Copies of this chain bind each other. A is one copy, B any other.
Amino acid sequence: MNDERMDRILLGPGPSDCHPDVLRAMASPLLGHLDPAFLAIMNETRERLRALFQTRHSLTLAMSGTGSAGMETLMVNALEPGDKIVVGINGLFGERMADVAARTGAEVIPVRAPWGRILEPEQVRDVLRAHRRVKALAVVHAETSTGVWQPLEDLSRLAREHEALFLVDAVTSLGGVPVQVDDFGVDGCYSGTQKCLGAPPGLSPVTLSPRFEEVLSKRRTKVQSWYLDLTMIRQYWGEERFYHHTAPVTMVYALHAALGLILEEGLERVFRRHLLNGRALQAGLEAMGLKLFAQEGHRLPQLTAVWVPEGVRDEEVRGRLLREYGIEIGGGLGEVKGRIWRLGLMGHSSRRRNVMLLLAALEQILGEAGHPVERGAACAAAEEVYQKSASPDDR
């Protein structure tokens, strides 16, 4: 597997590049899943996850599946047949939440906004008022399909007023922008390892509040998924160390190392780095005459969706980036398939050199594809963002 095709720069919606230390960690020999040395790594990983989620929740751990398994974990543990859940849908992952939730036998009440726009608190308020005994409100913090950054504070307050659990998809936000689980009053939150955390896909960090644990302890039925049943899994991650399933040891090494790098850099600096690189990229794209997809004021820095310009063929551009530069970017999903690109600057991929390279490469390819570009304008616009940045740290 050592040919040139293996040497990519991952600037799509995930996975992102792993730091060499993370790759090296995975080459470590295995430990058994009940070995005291491994349990020490698990404990440290759990502490590091709490730091990332900015929470003191006791029930914080990594599920043995990708981010979608984390989504399903929250749904199958929170919901029982006949329960009601309000799900915010303004992109593919909101739609997925609704699908997953409906499979529990719960009644799903959708609140919709157009793709690319946030959910407004007023909409959510009206829906919550119109239904009695809603058990949970679920929204996506960072919509990977659109690049929208959803504000959480008002929604959290509404959930609390209606005594509903507040569930949040932080797959693409955790480690890129603040996910203040305790401050935001989030009762259930899940993420993925392959976005801003900078580890490979394969684990889903989750954190659950005492309110969520109470719901869990009051269930009338067994959790429908054995594999994702937190009533059992928490006994393995907890002091009991009760065997449930064999933990994905190597993936835990990777997550442990990746979280260590983030905390060493410092959360504030990590967020500033993501913000700065994202804003520089967005300035460059606009200087190239491209239109950003997500609503202004609510654009994620770590994932930028941009319209494919008139007259340019989506797949040709992505194919050339991959073949000629080894750069992967993402295409659109669902209703915007073929019409947008998704550019990720997540984790170790969020670097100034990647911003400059991507802008230069895009300028070249779009120019040749007939899109009018002023050569050098994109990089200059990005550079201006970097220059304006106060801190020399941010480079």
Contacts and interface: CB of A to CB of B under 8 A. Distances in A.
Contacts of A30: 8, 10, 15-18, 194, 200
A243 interface: yes
A348 B192 CA distance: 31
Contacts of A16: 30
Contact of A65 (B17, B96, B227): B227
User: How many copies of the shown chain assemble into the complex?
Assistant: 2
A368 to B, nearest CB: 22
Contacts of A247: 66, 201
Interface stretch (A19-27, A175-183, A207-215, A265-273): A19-27
Nearest to A7: B29
Interface string A14-44: 1111100001111111111101110001000
A247 B192 CA distance: 12
B201 A202 contact: no
Chief secondary structure at chain A's binding surface: loop
Interface residues of A, number: 70
Q: Give 3 closest A-B pairs by Cβ, nearest first.
A: A202-B248, A5-B37, A200-B250
A314 to B, nearest CB: 14
B26 A68 contact: no
A202 B64 contact: yes
Given A10-B30, A15-B246, A72-B227, 7 more contacts: A8-B30, A8-B31, A18-B30, A35-B328, A36-B322, A66-B245, A200-B251
A280 interface: no
Given A67-B246, A68-B227, A227-B69, A8 B32 contact: yes
